Structure 1
Amino acid sequence: MRRDHVALSRATGFGGSVLIAAGGLGAGALPVGIPFFAGGTNAQIGLVAVYSGLLLLVLGWWWYGKTGHFNSAAGRDEGGGGAADGWRTLALWSAPLLFTPPLFSRDVYSYLAQGQMVDAGLDVYHVGPSALGGAIADQIPAIWLDTPSPYGPVLLIVARLIAPPLTEHLLLGVIAMRLIAVGGLALLAVATRTLARSAGVRPASAAWLIVLNPLTLIHFVGGAHNDALMVGLLAAGLAAAVRRRPVVAVVLVVAAALVKAPAVLGLAAVAAIWAHQINGRFPRVRATAAVAGTAGVATALITAAAGTGYGWILALQTPMSPHNWSLTSGLGRVTASLLDGGISATLARDVWRWAGLLAMLIVAGLVWTYRAKLGPVYGLGLVLSAVVVFGPALRPWYLLWGLAPLAAAAVDQRVRQIFAGVCVVLAVAVLPDGFAPDANRVLLATIGGLIGIAAFITVRISSVLLTRAGALAQEAR
């Protein structure tokens, strides 16, 4: 009956995705100025539907993992663990999210605006979307209207290709950016299996933890985040490295870093992998020099192809929201309030950010010390996770930066369980419109979550009863 349970768990997740997509029509990050997307009752019903679906998707994912026996040990995949089953599940759980308004964030509108700005000849690294104006700029929160782009030239190349022909068709632009994100997710899915085999981890276990993860699906597909492209390129680069294609690996990792800068840390992992593959004296020095030289050439060529210049280097200093989820920013705000004006909030945040940087360096130092035991891919996952936890900006989907290599390389089941649990918490932490919650909407979300849990319990009880009935029928024959 295991196959029946796999099918039921897959169907449960699919039902959850359908509810999330349907609820997004009323409660998502809806475009401004399109009469069809109105608030009011539709938003309230949509919020309940999204959270009902979210809990169904999370619980279906848990059930699918349990039924498929996705432990980390290498070996034959049981139950629903085959590659074909994984792709089928990914398609089912992703498809409903493709054609709904943006979910859990409005960032995709910024990508489209920046693509139009580049096409119009505006310097996205010096002016914000307010310089563009129009329907796309109307979709962007006021706090970001005058903020230059924090993204690299690879994203701008993609956005420039998509945005101009879709100026009058906003939702088609969103779907196009979402398909780019799905492409990144597909890259991640293929690369994860390669990396997992190399690390002695069961490929299906790795795919379950990162590719089928509800946090991945709702933010990479539903939110159409450029992080999907960054993580997909990074994983593909690491996979190329373990398959002894170091130059391809460096180019892919550079492309990932020219979407979002944190991926540049992947070059250290590529250098470490390359060093183990070459003979002769000073392999680490030679590999590092080769990676640095190749990365420099690739960066110059990609930047030249984008035609946006090197303003992206200064864009690394683009300010973050002072109220983001960052641990160090939060501690800075608390410190400033406790001192009651004795220290400015800006100074407090700066002190804690330097402390966060120190914490990152300590983690990196420990990873370097135990590099032989951890391996380059696992070590990269730990360092990227430290960057997320101790960095100056934090959003739930940032956790996926480090989880991608960890899912493929972490053999310790406790590490995998901790990350899975954190993902579950973060998956329900952001409302579908991407804005801060209030008491009424938290209540509606809670009601929706309880409905989802009740529906899941009903399915589980029904599956147990059907299993027992089938067993009794066999005994009676």
Structure 2
Amino acid sequence: MLSAIRLPDETRRCLVLGLAGATALAGGGLAAGALPVRDTLAPALGLSALRQHQGAGLVCAYFGLALLVAAWWRLGRAVRGGDPPSPRTLLLVLAAWAVPLVAMPPLFSRDVYSYLAQGAMVTAGLDVYQAGPSAMGGPLLAEVPVIWQHTPTPYGPAFLSLAAGVSGFSATDVPLGVFGMRAVALAGVVLLIACLPRLARSCGVDPAAALWLGALNPLVLLHLVSGAHNDAVMLGLLIAGLTAACANRFALAAVVITLASLVKAPAALGLVVVVWLWQRALHRSADPPAAILPASRPACAGSVSDRPALGRRTATLRAFGSTACLAAATTALVTAVTGTGYGWVRSLTTPISAHNWSLSSTVGRITRNLLEAAGSDLAASAIPAWRWIGLAAAAGATLLAWHHRRRLGLVYALGLSLAALALLGPALRPWYLLWGLVPIAAAAPPHGRVRRWTALACLALTVTVFPSGFTPSVDELAAALAGALLAVPILVLYAGDVAAPVRPYRGTEPTAW
């Protein structure tokens, strides 16, 4: 079939290499993935015996992961080269890489089972913001990791309504529920890839480069497609809202971004972009896409409104008030429809728990151990103190990014702010990097340092969690390393080609920095 599709040679090689990797990764996941405790599908398909070969599954999974990561990195060189693939071609590559992962059990996290349990609690009328899945019990409780069984959910009512719908449909059929939650996540990914090229054009960035970094990267495939994380829904709505704001549809943008924040709260930072663009439009009576570009980039030719321009203060107050009213109305309506109440506001502190790891928590644990060794009474306060220090640092980085918004551009400033929150906040997971990565992919300078470092961070974070979602043993680490080493001979064969020269983006908006 692939031979009937005309693709640049390098793109075709990347597609085939990544497809082979995704297939091997998905196959290994049948033995070493985040498998359900009560699996009704594997026995029906005669696959139950694979669970006894977890070591072989890890070898296969990491062999495939190495191929997939190498294919993505090499595709990035093709995107920057002399014969680049079009955005439509990149979407074909993304679909080919995603298909094997869609049909298999989840990988790298067991959060999808928590989503099902929380959805079942909503359906049963239990308060998910007061208690964890242990309050409900039942067969779904066995699928939730022990550390989260007593933890209230930090997710907003918009996502819980989706989880409740899937849980109500699948009842106690865990595989059916997993595929239902994956369908929800895939809807978010589809919305993201539909809007990301348009947002990139508004920011003066090559849509192909934005898709490569923001949609085809391994974190999206591993954690949004395979892991079915609700971050996919949040990011899809956030990017759709930003795209609407760039097209003068400010009311729609405020509503959609508020919905994104009612999935996961960090998306609320996107409302700042809406307020700023709306204020610029009212003050200057000009088409606002120019406002999202850095000051050093010439603005797009915008249509001038027939309305008289407002004063800056009046425009700011009107934009802020309109956005706040729309956000409040959307929040009230969604909360009333779902019937979950406003406990989600209180549960925003759930990530600040003893079970979460982050950069600040790691420093806090080291500090605690040193204080305990010194016999200090302050040892118990070390981790909380460092977590609040991390939040303060994230707030400072956010303020710094917005202070330089004229030089950076609004979407780029938003991406840097969300990245700082993910890296310095009280909880850190590999997929959290996507909060900032996707806006950065749409707005960062095409050949800038931040884009390169973000891509390298993606590579590093693909190996920080194991396919089962649990902490690996020494034997499992050895099996993973063996699988990656088995991929080396194949990758050497692909390494002999010389990369094509980097070409500039020739779109409608300039990309000079």
Q: State yes or no: 1:363 paired with 2:397.
A: yes
What CA distance in whole angstroms lies between the structure 1 residues aligned with 2:241 and 2:387? 30
Contact 1:336 1:342 in 2 (8 A): no
Answer yes or no: is 1:46 the counterpart of 2:81: no
C-alpha contact (below 8 Å) 2:129/2:347 kept by paired residues: yes
Instruction: Report the counterpart of residue 472 of structure 1 in structure 2.
Output: none
Q: CA deviation at 1:64?
A: 1.2
Match of 1:179 among 146, 162, 183: 183
Cα deviation for residue 132 of structure 1 reads 1.9
Structure 1 unaligned segments of length 5 or more: list them: 71-77, 465-477
Instruction: Give TM-score, length-normalised by structure 2.
Output: 0.86
SS at match of 1:276: helix
2:27 to 5, 22, 26: 22
**Cα distance in structure 1, aligned partners of 2:475 and 2:150:** 31
Is 1:416 aligned to 2:451, yes or no?
yes
Aligned equivalent of 2:354, options 322, 347, 353: 322
Is the partner of 2:8 in helix, strand or coil?
helix
Q: Percent identity?
A: 47
User: Distance in 1 between the 2:351 and 2:223 partners?
Assistant: 22
Distance 1:352 1:47, change over 3 A: same
1:441 to 466, 472, 476: 476
Per-residue deviation, 1:434: 0.9
Answer yes or no: is the 8 Å Cα contact 1:12–1:456 preserved in 2. Answer: no
Q: CA deviation at 1:325?
A: 3.1
Q: Mean alpha-carbon deviation: is it higher for 108-117 or for 277-286?
A: 277-286
Determine helix, strand or coil for the equivalent of 2:91: helix
Q: 1:342-381 maps to which residues of 2 (within 5 A)?
A: 342-381=376-415
2:504 maps to what in 1?
none
Aligned equivalent of 1:133: 137
In 2: Cα distance, 1:256 partner to 1:142 partner = 28
Distance 1:126 1:104, change over 3 A: same
Q: Which of 149, 152, 158 is the equivalent residue of 2:153?
A: 149
Cα distance, 1:38–1:397 mapped onto 2, change above 3 Å: farther
Within 1, Cα distance between the matches of 2:239 and 2:175? 29
Q: Secondary structure at the match of 2:349?
A: coil
Where does the alignment leave 5 or more consecutive residues of structure 2 unmatched?
1-5, 283-308, 499-513
Q: Partners in 1 of 2:181 and 2:38 — Cα distance?
A: 20
Distance (Å, rounded) in 2 between the aligned partners of 1:38 and 1:318: 38
- CA shift, 1:365, in A, is 2.2
Residue 75 of structure 1 is matched in structure 2 by none
Structure 2 counterpart of 1:100, one-letter code = M
1:84 counterpart letter in structure 2: R
Alignment match, 2:18? 13
- The residue type paired with residue 65 of structure 1 is G
| Residue identity opposite 1:400 in structure 2 | L
Q: Which amino acid in 2 is paired with 1:335?
A: T
- Separation of aligned partners in 1, 2:185 and 2:415: 21
After the TM superposition, list the runs of 4 or more consecutive aligned residues in structure 1 that deviate by more than 6 angstroms.
Answer: none
Which of 455, 467, 470 is the equivalent residue of 2:490? Answer: 455
SS in 2 for 1:277: helix
Distance 1:33 1:132 in 2: 17
Q: How many corresponding residue pairs?
A: 456
Residue 321 of structure 1 and its aligned partner are, at CA, apart by 4.9
1:23-422 equivalence runs, <5 A: 23-34=28-39, 36-37=47-48, 41-69=52-80, 79-278=83-282, 279-281=309-311, 282=313, 283-340=315-372, 341-411=375-445, 412-422=447-457
Query: By how many angstroms is 1:403 displaced?
Result: 0.7
Aligned 8 A contact 1:113 1:163 in 2? yes
**In structure 2, C-alpha distance between the alignment counterparts of 1:79 and 1:307, rounded to whole Å:** 53
Contact 2:351 2:427 in 1 (8 A): no
Q: Cα offset for 1:99?
A: 1.5
SS in 1 for 2:281: coil
Supply the AA of the counterpart residue of 1:230: M
Contact 1:24–1:46 (CA<8 Å) still a contact in 2?
A: yes
Q: Deviations over 1:329-351 (max 9, x none)?
A: 11110001011241455411121
Shift in Å, 1:41? 4.5
Give 1:457 deviation, angstroms: 2.0
Normalising by structure 1, what TM-score? 0.92
1:82-141 per-position Cα deviation (integer Å, ceiling 9, x unaligned): 122021011101111111111100000011111111111111111211122222111001
Alpha carbons of 1:93 and 1:343: their partners in 2 closer, same or farther (altered >3 Å)?
A: farther
Q: Structure 1 residue 366: deviation in Å?
A: 1.3
CA RMSD in angstroms, aligned pairs only: 1.8
